[in-house]
Amino acid sequence: MAVIKELIRAEEDGTVSFGNYQIKEKAKVPEFPHQGDVYKVKTFCEITKLEKNGMFVYESVPGSTVCRMSQEESGMHFFVEGQEDAQITVELEADTEYEVFINDASTGTVTTNLGGKLSFSVELQPEQASEVRIVKCEHEE
């Protein structure tokens, strides 16, 4: 996986890739249209942040590169790499339980707060992608 030189791009499979943890100065793309939505990305070595239609989607500290991010009602899926371990925050459905998988290993379940934020840490290394899958837990009623 490589950094995204253009900061954000649409992939052939309909997903988006974004971020460049190697740049030292803040860079952004304020309007990136994709499949009827408008994305905004801010990125550099210290932070990477993605918004969709003005709403928070993703943030990592320090910065990261994310490839092939997809969002669905059941969760989120993407590949991430960075210079060092990162704290990642994503926005999903509020007050909902999700299971987080990193490289197919479950890190356990987390319940989002009332704003829908879910935070977790990922051990990252340059030029080595980690797969992140966040799956909504289904409970029997």
Tell me whether residue 124 is in a domain. yes
Task: Let me know if residue 119 belongs to a domain.
Answer: yes
Terminal alpha carbon distance of the chain: 42
Say how many domains are in the chain.
1
pLDDT averaged over the chain?
A: 94
CATH number at residue 46: 2.60.220
Separation CA 11–CA 36 (nearest Å): 15
Assess contact for 65 and 3: CB atoms under 8 A.
Answer: yes
Q: 5 pLDDT band (50/70/90 cuts)?
A: confident
**For residues 31 and 40, is the Cβ–Cβ distance under 8 A?**
yes
- 141 in a structural domain: no
Report yes or no on 126 lying in a domain: yes
Q: What is the mean pLDDT of residues 117-123?
A: 95
The yes-or-no verdict on residue 52 having pLDDT over 90 is yes
User: With 70 as the cut, is the pLDDT of residue 65 above it?
Assistant: yes
Structure tokens at 82: 């960075």
Does residue 1 surpass a pLDDT of 80?
A: no
Domain containing residue 109:
8-136
pLDDT > 60? residue 141? no
Q: What is the CA radius of gyration of the chain?
A: 14
Assess if residue 115 is contained within a domain.
yes
Residues in the chain: 141
The verdict on residue 103 lying in a domain is: yes
Mean predicted confidence (pLDDT) in 55-82: 96
